[in-house]
Amino acid sequence: MDHERLAHVMRRLALDAGDRIMEIYSSPDFEVRSKSDASPVTEADEAADALISEGLAEAFPQVAIVTEEQAESHGQSVSTFLIVDPLDGTKEFVQRRGDFTVNIAYVEDGVPLRGVVYAPAKGRLFYTLADGRAVEEMGPFDKDTPGEQRPITVSVPDNRGLMVVASKSHRDQATDAYIACYAVRDMTSAGSSLKFCLVATGEADLYPRLGRTMEWDTAAGDAVLRGAGGSVVRFDDHAPLAYGKPGFENPFFIAYAPGVLLVKE
C-alpha cells in the first residue's frame, strides 16, 4: 500500500463526504428510515457511502472495501481491507447535535494501521500521516492542500483521578458500574468515534464500551488513537482488538492511554 497516497485520498474523501452530509444536515427536513436492525439511516448516510466507496474503489481497485451501508454484501471475513462508516452517529445527526463523524480506515492483517475521522459540524479533522503518526488538522480545510497539522498524543494519566469519556446515546448501567471501578476526576460524553479522538488528544484517559459496535464504528478512531500512542483492547481479556472478524462485530472493548491501570471485572 502507498501510504502517502492513501492518506491523501482518505482525507479528501472524508472532506467531500462531510460537505455532502452538511448540505443535507442544513436542509429544513430530510428522510429518516429504519434499517433491518432498527437503527436509523438517512439520505446523508447513503450519499456519503456512495461517494466514499466509489472514490476508494477508483483509487485502490485491488483492495477490498467494507462499508456500513453495504454490509450485507460483504464476505464473512477478510484480513486486509478498507472500512468505512460514512456517517457515524446517525442519531446525533437526526437530533442535530453535531457529534457525528465520517470514518475511513485501512486495515492490514487485522490491524487498523491508518484512519481519518472528520466531524464536519464541529470542524475537527483527525487522521494518521503516511508514517502512522496521528495529527489533528486545524481548519479551514483545503481539500487539496493540508493546513496546519498538530501532532496529537495521549495523556500521561493519573490513576488517582482519570478523565473518562463515554457514549451519549448508548450509556448503560453496566458501563457506569465499570467506570465506578476507577478513581474518576471528571467525565465527559461524546457521540460517534469522537470518543477515540478525545483519548488520542489527551482530552480523556479512558473510554470503555460495553455495548454492541461494528468494526466500521471503531476502525478509524482506533487507528488515530494507535497513532497517538493509545491502545484499544477487548474488555474480557485485554487482548488487542482485531479486525476482519466474521460478521464484523466487535466484542466489548476499552480504549485508553497507556498508564491507565485497567480493571478486570
User: Residue 165's pLDDT is what?
Assistant: 96
User: Residue 42's pLDDT is what?
Assistant: 76
Q: Which residue numbers in the chain have pLDDT < 50?
A: 38
Q: Mean pLDDT of all residues in the chain?
A: 91
Model-wide pTM > 0.75: yes
Gap between the Cα atoms of 99 and 88, Å rounded: 9
Give the list of residues 6+ apart from residue 217 with CB closer than 8 angstroms, or none.
68, 85, 88, 103, 192, 193, 250
Question: Distance between the two ends of the chain, CA-based, in angstroms?
Answer: 39
User: Residue 72's pLDDT is what?
Assistant: 60
Domains plus CATH for the chain? 3-151 (3.30.540.10), 162-256 (3.40.190.80)
Residue 168: Cβ within 10 Å count: 19
Give which of 145, 128, 114, 136 is closest to 1, Cα–Cα.
114
